Amino acid sequence: MARGGDNPSLPLDVIINILKRLPVKTLIRFQCVCKEWKNLFKTPSFIAEHSHHPDHQNQSLLLRGHNYVGHKPSSLCLLNHKMDTLTVLSVPFRRNWEIIGSCNGLLCVEVFRDRGKIPDFGRVSGSLWLWNPVTRELRKVPDTLNDLSYVCSVGFGFSSVANDYNIVRFYNQNLDRRKEDQYLRFIKHDRVEVFSLSTGSWKVLESEALQRTEVFGPAFSADGFIFWYGYQRPFSSSFISFDMAREVFTWFTLTPKPAERSIPFGVYQNKLVGHVLIKEGPGSHSILVFMCRKGASESGKSSSCTQEYRIGPISDVLSPVCIWGNEVVCRDDKEDEVKGDRNRVLHMFNFITNERRKFNYSIDRDWIDVCNYEESLASVWNTQVE
């Protein structure tokens, strides 16, 4: 240790090397140590070094409990890689809301204007927010002229090349808002807009390839790309990818054609992973897990998935909701046998070894949504390098 007067001190690089190994919540408390540390924790370079440190590479599962009826606010909790449950800070949203995407510790959240049920496909767009649940930073995304239009799908992601976060929305401008819900499942988009966190503004994108494609949610982001599931005319199932740095859309052909419109994604060993349910018989299903390389080739090129795994048979009351490492996480959708029972179960299926495990938890809500999440110091206000 070096000494400056009567106060012992460490070199700055040693201090930084120690601090970037500590959990986010510890660093938040350490902001009050001195002004230099508080400023350090807000610099993009330290945020990136902390996020990429090996001690913080294990993603958690974010469990959002909510009720379709009643006025109970949503609750959030984290399940870490050791299967320990950690309570997340209070939710700042009181109206109906859902998580659009999770990336680098930030959540993109849509808050719906209607206090009724959360809409399905083709819903009227609500207000978008960026939120870091750990640091409590919250930012409303500016509205656009199309915020009263029907939206086909929304995606959220980060590009290290562009050093920027993007929100991508597909619109249909010509749909009459007064049409019945039965028509909403046949909406096709005719406009794409992209929000840049670094500029704080939206812009319109045009792509000839997208004119032949129908896009569905939910979206998934990885390594500078946002992925959706969709149909490319004439009637071929595809992954739709958006390169946030180049602002280019491309697609990957899916074989065989999935039956669902909603395909959860994940990443395993630097490959894009998706999974769908396949009916085996009465009361029984299998989960088909397929891998594709991430990214895309030249715009307009197609490529098929490279590897498949099959899990099952499983009960038809289990619904796959996300990929967590090498496991498919399934929610148990059966109704509670005992009224008021708060016990719930998540089932994890390892698609490499076929091992199965389950996690029991207690939550005073009648439904949960599940997504991957990693804690970070990422700010909802600025991404540019100092």
- For the four alpha carbons of 236, 183, 242 and 213, in that order, the dihedral sign comes to positive
Residue 293 three-state SS:
strand
Q: Report the alpha-carbon distance of residue 124 to residue 176 in Å, rounded.
A: 11
Q: For residues 44, 45, 47 and 50, what is the CA-based torsion angle, rounded to 10 degrees?
A: 170
- The residues near 95 (Cβ < 8 Å, ≥ 6 apart) are 111, 112, 113, 115
CA–centroid distance for 196 within its chain = 17
φ/ψ of residue 374, rounded to 5: -130, 135
Peptide bond just before 218 cis, omega within 30 deg: yes
Q: Report the alpha-carbon distance of residue 157 to residue 167 in Å, rounded.
A: 7
Looking at the chain, how many residues does it have?
386
Superfamily of domain 42-373: Kelch-type beta propeller (2.120.10.80)
Beta bridge partners of 232: 213, 236
386 near 379, Cβ under 8 Å? no
* Greatest distance between any 2 Cα atoms in the chain: 79
Hey, what are 253's tokens?
């052909």
- For the four alpha carbons of 48, 218, 256 and 311, in that order, the dihedral sign comes to positive
Peptide bond just before 256 cis, omega within 30 deg: yes
Q: For residues 259, 261, 264 and 268, what is the CA-based torsion angle, rounded to 10 degrees?
A: 60
Tens-of-pLDDT digits for all 386 residues of the chain?
444 455 567 888 898 899 989 988 899 999 988 899 999 998 888 998 888 887 777 778 888 877 666 566 777 888 877 777 766 667 888 767 889 999 999 999 988 765 444 444 445 567 899 999 988 899 999 988 676 666 778 899 999 899 899 999 887 665 544 444 444 444 566 678 999 999 999 998 876 666 667 777 678 888 889 988 877 666 666 778 889 999 988 877 665 556 555 677 778 877 778 777 777 777 777 887 877 765 544 444 444 566 778 888 887 678 888 888 888 888 887 654 444 555 678 888 988 888 888 887 776 666 778 888 988 999 998 655 44
AA identity, residue 209 = A
Beta bridge partners of 266: 273
Q: For residues 143, 148, 151 and 155, what is the CA-based torsion angle, rounded to 10 degrees?
A: 10
pTM: 0.83
